[in-house]
Chains A and B, each alone.
Chain A
Amino acid sequence: MSDKSAASAAFKQVMKQYGGIFLSLIVLCVIFSVTNQRFMSVANFLNILQQVSVIAIAAFGMTWVILLGEIDLSIGSIIAVAGMVGAQCFAFGMSFVPALILTIAAGAVLGLANGVLTAKFLLPSFIVTVATMGIYRGMVSLPTNGAPAMIMEPSWTAIGTQSFIGIPIVIWVVAVLFLFNHILLSKTKFGRRAYLTGGNREAALYSGIKVDRLKIIIFMISGVMAAISGVLLSSRLFSAQTNAGMSYELDAIAAAVLGGTSLAGGVGTMIGTLIGALIIGVLNNGMNMLSVPYFYQLIVKGLVILVAVYLDVRSKRAKQ
Chain B
Amino acid sequence: MRGIWKAERLPQVTLATLSMKGDAMETSGDSVILEIKDMSKEFGAVKALKNMQLKVRPGRVHTILGENGAGKSTLMKILAGVYQPTTGSITLDGHPYAPTNPQDAAKAGLTIVFQELSLCNNMTVAENILATREPSRGGFINDKALVRKAAELVKELGLPVSVTDQVGDLSIAQRQLVEIAKGLSIDAKIVILDEPTSSLSDSEAEILFEIIDRLKAKGVAILYISHRMEEIMRLSDDITVVRDGSYITTRDKTEVTISELIALMVGRDMNEIYPPRDVPAPALSEKPVLAVNGLSRDEEFDNVSFDVRPGEILGFFGLIGSGRSEVMNTLFGMAQASAGTVAIDGAQVKITSPVEAIERRIGFVTENRKEEGLVLSHSVESNISMVALNGFSSVLGFLKRKREREAANAEVARLAIKTASLDTIAGSLSGGNQQKIVLAKWLLTKPKILILDEPTRGVDVGAKFEIYKIIRQLAAEGTAILLVSSELPEVIGMSDRVVVMSEGKVTAIADPDQMTPEKIMHFATGFTS
Contacts and interface: CB of A to CB of B under 8 A. Distances in A.
Contacts of B397: 188-190
A203 B382 contact: no
Contacts of A187: 398-399
A196 interface: yes
B387 A208 contact: yes
Nearest to A189: B393
B354 A192 contact: no
B354 A206 contact: yes
Interface in A223-279: 266-267
Contact of A208 (B354, B382, B396, B398): B354
A205 B354 contact: yes
Nearest to A202: B372
A43 to B, nearest CB: 38
B355 interface: yes
B306 to A, nearest CB: 22
B376 A188 contact: no
Contact of B399 (A188, A204, A267): A188
A192 B387 contact: no
Contact of A206 (B372, B389, B392, B398): B372
- Counting contact residues on chain A (CB < 8 A from B), the size range is 20 to 34
B375 interface: yes
Main secondary structure of the interface of A (DSSP, over half): helix
A196 B386 contact: yes
A239 B386 CA distance: 47
B528 interface: no
B371 interface: yes
Contact of A192 (B364, B371, B389): B389
A196 B388 CA distance: 13
A267 B382 CA distance: 13
Contact of B373 (A190, A199, A203, A266): A203
Contact of A202 (B364, B371, B377): B371
B2 interface: no
Interface string A205-231: 111101000000000000000000000
Nearest to A184: B397
A210 B356 CA distance: 11
B204 to A, nearest CB: 33
A200 interface: yes
A60 interface: no
A183 to B, nearest CB: 8
B374 A200 contact: yes
B334 interface: yes
A193 interface: yes
Nearest to B404: A192
B378 interface: yes
Contact of B375 (A208, A210, A266): A266
A199 B378 contact: yes
B390 interface: yes
Nearest to B390: A189
B72 interface: no
A8 to B, nearest CB: 19
Contacts of A136: none
- Counting contact residues on chain B (CB < 8 A from A), the size range is 20 to 34
Interface string B289-327: 000000000000000000000000000000000000000
Contacts of B53: none
A195 B378 contact: yes
Interface in B432-480: 441
A200 B398 CA distance: 22
Contacts of A207: 354, 358, 386-387, 441
B6 to A, nearest CB: 30
Interface string B392-420: 11001111000000000000000000000
Given A189-B389, A206-B334, A208-B387, A196 B375 contact: yes
Interface in B59-108: none
A168 B245 CA distance: 75
Contact of A193 (B334, B371, B389, B396): B389
A266 B379 CA distance: 12
Contacts of B390: 189
Contact of B378 (A188, A205, A206, A266): A266
A233 to B, nearest CB: 31
A119 to B, nearest CB: 14
B452 to A, nearest CB: 13
Contacts of B374: 200, 203
A200 B366 CA distance: 14
A264 to B, nearest CB: 9
Contacts of B332: 206
A188 B398 contact: yes
Contact of A199 (B334, B372, B375, B396): B375
A19 to B, nearest CB: 18
A208 B378 contact: no
A195 B386 CA distance: 11
Contacts of A208: 354-355, 357-358, 387
A203 B442 CA distance: 12
A193 B386 CA distance: 8
Contacts of A199: 375-378
B134 to A, nearest CB: 34
A53 B145 CA distance: 67
A206 B382 contact: no
A196 B382 contact: yes
Contact of A203 (B357, B371, B389, B398): B371
A187 B392 CA distance: 11
Contacts of A189: 389-390, 392-393, 397-399
A210 B389 CA distance: 13
A128 B523 CA distance: 51
Contacts of B372: 202-203, 205-206
B366 A206 contact: yes
A208 B389 CA distance: 10
A204 B378 CA distance: 12
Interface in A29-68: none
Nearest to B401: A187
B326 to A, nearest CB: 15
A196 to B, nearest CB: 5
Contacts of B371: 200, 202-203
Contacts of B399: 187-189, 192
B382 A192 contact: yes
A217 to B, nearest CB: 12
Interface in A152-190: 187-190
B499 to A, nearest CB: 22
B382 A195 contact: yes
Contacts of A195: 375, 378, 382
A187 B371 CA distance: 26
Nearest to B329: A206
**Which of A190, A205, A206 has most B Cβ within 10 Å?**
A206
**Which of B334, B364, B372, B392 has most A Cβ within 10 Å?**
B372
B344 to A, nearest CB: 16
24 contacts: A187-B398, A188-B393, A188-B396, A188-B397, A188-B399, A189-B397, A189-B399, A195-B375, A195-B378, A196-B378, A200-B371, A203-B372, A203-B373, A203-B375, A204-B375, A205-B334, A205-B372, A206-B373, A207-B358, A207-B387, A208-B358, A208-B387, A210-B355, A266-B378
Given A202-B372, A203-B386, 15 more contacts: A188-B398, A192-B382, A193-B389, A196-B378, A196-B382, A196-B386, A199-B375, A200-B374, A205-B334, A206-B354, A206-B372, A207-B386, A208-B354, A266-B375, A266-B378
Question: 3 tightest CB-CB pairs across the interface, nearest first?
Answer: A199-B375, A208-B358, A189-B393
